[in-house]
A and B are shown apart, each in its own frame.
Chain A
């Protein structure tokens, strides 16, 4: 029969019938249902299996604290494991599958674990599986791993989109129950910028689940009207389906809004979820309270729910979970559930009240001073066994049992900054303590104000206080009339009876026995208890079980609960999809792309691009007929060395440095001297870190008496600029020097090769003959008949070479002009590979040598470190460990057999020496094939390298099992005298 457990009333839309399926079976429900309420309405109590013992389980709750009713929602790439049926909004076509069972939910082979449970006591695995040693990884662990885990990921890329956004408000209200709504009304009417967020799809919190009235109207109606009123206020933003997952520093909250999880299909262009980073000047935690169970034997059967949840299913979702129903309580709120059910016509077979005395509840068998000591029903509850005040036991039929052990304030977010909750004896619960996030207060049940009146009153009062703090005046809310029932509870945590198991943490199968064992073995600190038994580590994060475990431990140690400890909560409040935390930063959009000014031109040529930090640079530019990258790179190198080559070097960092102290400043940040550099000249500069290691290198040009242009390596453009600002602002604040990064402002191209000057003369408006513009000259010039440009005669390749810079917007035009001008010389455009080949041939250091672990001395540049002036890094570069003889020195390397190729990262070992660390003499930093020399060449750091020129060694790559005999040479393979670059 369809929806056989549906009763009258509720806040479902009976006009909208929704079809859905669970484990392939078709059902119907209504708009306003959750998956759990719809299944319960259809008489389905069994929804999942527990983690360890594979016990049959149904929902324990009607909210986000749910430990049991976890399903795989949807299918294919959108399959979403471990989804709580209790908060899954029903939609037409919803598809859900049970998980952690085989072959079926009703018959699960691993339920054998339940029979073997004596062997699986807390921590059993720490004591066994050790012999023989190899069996752990080969046998035991694979078996454990296969059984572990709950749901299954699809293994396909998540097809949905996720967004991120920023929101600002005066007052953030976390939770839209009575306290939250009263706070929002107070602040909204005062004109403050208010955000009120609630994890539920229907705002109102507990008001939607109760039968009492507010101002003589049903509470749910008052909530709906209030929400409608708030929606009319332009200064109030309502965020339903939004969970505040964490409180971070200085009033920043993270919120996840589920935009389309409640829809069958994500609408085109919409994200699945949004991560809001919420900046709130003040916040009020109005997150309500969570009911906690009482532990008794076999308290985990499908049909055993928290009493308040049972009430919510009846009142909000019009579902009688089981008939007859029984109630087990230690407080008056459990009686409220019984009253509501009776009023709805649900048969209540008994109310078992742990408290003796007091007025009897009419209309049912109210058994006072009694306990539930056992239950029966393999896949769902059929009966309970009770023991009365006289110690007599009897069984009572029950298809559902509502259990109430009292309520715990949802103080989670108040402890996200590790503030400790405080114990409240009257409530027998922890309430928010000091040390919470600054600017956050709590109201309503989250603060221990459990009655509706108290929730409304504290919500309004906390809003007033927060607004007063902000200097916003607000009117007192005319509090609506509401029930003000006092909390009446006599703590009763677990039933001591029999030999069976009483569950505390249902998902992870932690029982009272496990807590006792932890106590017996001295795992008595709360943290030891949690870690040893796995209490509270499940997907419900211990929302229902932690308090119970703590109470049992307190009793065992003979201490009070607050003496025994407390547990604090960490973000997130409920588990969060990884996708929404990543937002759009995934796949090819993981990080931005920076494109060089010649990118479009290079793409037109079919260039192969390579990631260089955020940049994409042309790696080589293949021509028709070239099938291997080496053909392209060799051609680019040879043509450049024999005629001319062009390369986009825009990615190098460029920093304009101006001021009357610019020269002095450079003397302090460079190891060598710049104040003496003539105007119109360029000098190579070596920059050290304060610890004396080389930070960066580059050239700096003096364009005017008080104007320099520094270049940095591509990788260090940002760190060097930061460092210079640090030096300028923090170390020498009164120097007259100004800095600006111009990396993106200038498109810069290297033009190298014997025909470089002839090529550039076609474009440059001024005389650039060797006499007018010698090696290491620089000038502000014009090109193409008047476009302002900068020209530097510097060379990384070792050829006659220039770097020419034009404003970036002319970069694309400039590469085309250069290529056109180069046609008569058959000039090439070369990429980063050819650039690398030529710099190794020339013996210039680059990224692989500038590894942050090398000093100037290691690079053969020790003489550049002036000791006559106090520059960054000078002092510490002279420490004994960095200047000793025999240290690593940069050398050139070539294979003895030119046919052999070298591998970067190979280590040097003496011929005949064993391959052990004791004989490790250094390594190859950079390896290229030199088309000019016709063999592989390399740079490397070799112990005592400068004294070993001509020596033969072997370079080994033990990862590939290869070795090559090499000869140590000068690092300058081509034109060591520098005749070419001065041509």
Chain B
């Protein structure tokens, strides 16, 4: 596979390490009420779609960027690649 890195252009996927569903960015607040239940759902349950999947890849053999890649799990076609940091900010994450 080839991942079109937003900063570096097309790179072989072998340079990257896969992590999982980009929903993992939305980490709950550990000090909130009922955190154990929300953390269970957050950490363990997955949509696992057959189709477009937004997922985290890390450019370990490259610039160390975490990326959010939108990839179809049936065809492996990639339709979007974003910096995970931008996605995280867009999702409202900050400090």
- Are B2 and A279 closer than 8 Å at their CB atoms? yes
Which of A664, A734, A878 lies at the interface centre, i.e. has the most chain B CB atoms within 10 A of its CB? A734
Q: Which residues of B contact A731 (CB under 8 A)?
A: 25, 27, 88, 93
- Is A216 positioned at the interface, with any CB of B under 8 Å from its CB? no
- Are A249 and B24 closer than 8 Å at their CB atoms? no
Q: Which residues of B contact A730 (CB under 8 A)?
A: 24-25, 56, 66, 84-85, 88, 93
Q: Which residues of B contact A251 (CB under 8 A)?
A: 2
- Are B65 and A733 closer than 8 Å at their CB atoms? no
- Is A876 positioned at the interface, with any CB of B under 8 Å from its CB? yes
Rounded to whole Å, the gap between the CB of B73 and the closest CB of chain A is 12
Which of A249, A438, A730, A871 lies at the interface centre, i.e. has the most chain B CB atoms within 10 A of its CB? A730
B 49-62 binary contact with A (CB < 8 Å = 1; else 0): 00000001010100
Q: Which residues of A contact B80 (CB under 8 A)?
A: none
Measured between alpha carbons, how far is A397 from B30 in the docked complex, in Å?
88
A 699-729 binary contact with B (CB < 8 Å = 1; else 0): 0000000000000000000100010011001
Interchain CB contact (< 8 A) of A732 among B31, B58, B76, B93: B93
Measured between alpha carbons, how far is A417 from B72 in the docked complex, in Å?
13
Rounded to whole Å, the gap between the CB of B31 and the closest CB of chain A is 5
Query: Assuming A252-B1, A438-B77, A661-B95, is B88 touching A729 (CB within 8 A)?
Result: yes
- Is B15 positioned at the interface, with any CB of A under 8 Å from its CB? no
- Is A332 positioned at the interface, with any CB of B under 8 Å from its CB? no
Tell me the chain B residues, 1-40 only, with Cβ under 8 Å from chain A: 1-2, 12, 17, 19, 24-25, 27, 29-31, 35-36, 39-40
Tell me the chain B residues, 60-92 only, with Cβ under 8 Å from chain A: 60, 64-66, 75-78, 83-85, 88-89
Measured between alpha carbons, how far is A734 from B56 in the docked complex, in Å?
18
- Are A249 and B1 closer than 8 Å at their CB atoms? yes
Interchain CB contact (< 8 A) of A874 among B30, B40, B93: B30
Residue of A nearest to B87 (CB): A730
Interchain CB contact (< 8 A) of A249 among B29, B39, B76: B76
Q: Which residues of B contact A389 (CB under 8 A)?
A: none
Cβ-Cβ contact count across A and B, 8 Å cutoff: 79
Residue of B nearest to A727 (CB): B27
Q: Which residues of A contact B36 (CB under 8 A)?
A: 875-876, 878-879
- Is A870 positioned at the interface, with any CB of B under 8 Å from its CB? yes
Tell me the chain A residues, 627-673 only, with Cβ under 8 Å from chain B: 661, 664
Measured between alpha carbons, how far is A373 from B12 in the docked complex, in Å?
56
Q: Which residues of A contact B58 (CB under 8 A)?
A: 722, 725-726
Query: Assuming A730-B24, A730-B85, A734-B95, is B29 touching A876 (CB within 8 A)?
Result: no
- Are B17 and A732 closer than 8 Å at their CB atoms? no
Query: Assuming A725-B66, A876-B43, A879-B36, is B1 touching A733 (CB within 8 A)?
Result: no
- Are B30 and A734 closer than 8 Å at their CB atoms? no
Which of B35, B39, B65 lies at the interface centre, i.e. has the most chain A CB atoms within 10 A of its CB? B39
Q: Which residues of B contact A869 (CB under 8 A)?
A: 31
Measured between alpha carbons, how far is A664 from B83 in the docked complex, in Å?
23
Query: Assuming A250-B78, A725-B66, A879-B36, is B89 touching A733 (CB within 8 A)?
Result: yes
Interchain CB contact (< 8 A) of B30 among A250, A691, A733, A875: A875
Measured between alpha carbons, how far is A722 from B17 in the docked complex, in Å?
9
Residue of B nearest to A279 (CB): B2
Q: Which residues of B contact A279 (CB under 8 A)?
A: 2
- Is A121 positioned at the interface, with any CB of B under 8 Å from its CB? no
- Are A875 and B93 closer than 8 Å at their CB atoms? no
- Are A726 and B66 closer than 8 Å at their CB atoms? yes
Q: Which residues of B contact A870 (CB under 8 A)?
A: 29-31
Query: Assuming A730-B56, A731-B88, A732-B94, is B39 touching A876 (CB within 8 A)?
Result: yes
Measured between alpha carbons, how far is A730 from B84 in the docked complex, in Å?
6
- Is A261 positioned at the interface, with any CB of B under 8 Å from its CB? no
Q: Which residues of B contact A761 (CB under 8 A)?
A: none
- Are A729 and B43 closer than 8 Å at their CB atoms? no
Q: Which residues of A contact B84 (CB under 8 A)?
A: 729-730
- Is A735 positioned at the interface, with any CB of B under 8 Å from its CB? yes
- Is A108 positioned at the interface, with any CB of B under 8 Å from its CB? no
Q: Which residues of B contact A733 (CB under 8 A)?
A: 85, 88-89, 93-94
Q: Which residues of B contact A876 (CB under 8 A)?
A: 36, 39-40, 43
Q: Which residues of B contact A871 (CB under 8 A)?
A: 30
Q: Which residues of A contact B12 (CB under 8 A)?
A: 252
Measured between alpha carbons, how far is A875 from B60 in the docked complex, in Å?
28
Rounded to whole Å, the gap between the CB of A739 and the closest CB of chain B is 8
Q: Which residues of B contact A732 (CB under 8 A)?
A: 93-95
Measured between alpha carbons, how far is A252 from B10 in the docked complex, in Å?
12
Residue of B nearest to A664 (CB): B95
Tell me the chain A residues, 718-773 only, with Cβ under 8 Å from chain B: 718, 722, 725-726, 729-735
Given contacts A249-B2, A730-B85, A734-B95, 10 further A-B contacts (CB under 8 A): A251-B2, A690-B43, A726-B66, A729-B66, A729-B84, A733-B94, A734-B89, A870-B29, A875-B35, A878-B36
Can you list 12 A-B contacts with CB-CB less than 8 angstroms, sorted by A residue number? A252-B1, A438-B77, A730-B24, A730-B88, A731-B25, A733-B89, A734-B93, A735-B95, A870-B30, A870-B31, A876-B40, A878-B36
Q: Interface on B for A, CB 8 Å cutoff?
A: 1-2, 12, 17, 19, 24-25, 27, 29-31, 35-36, 39-40, 43, 56, 58, 60, 64-66, 75-78, 83-85, 88-89, 93-95
The 9 tightest CB contacts between A and B, nearest first, are A870-B30, A734-B94, A250-B2, A733-B85, A249-B1, A729-B66, A733-B88, A249-B76, A875-B39
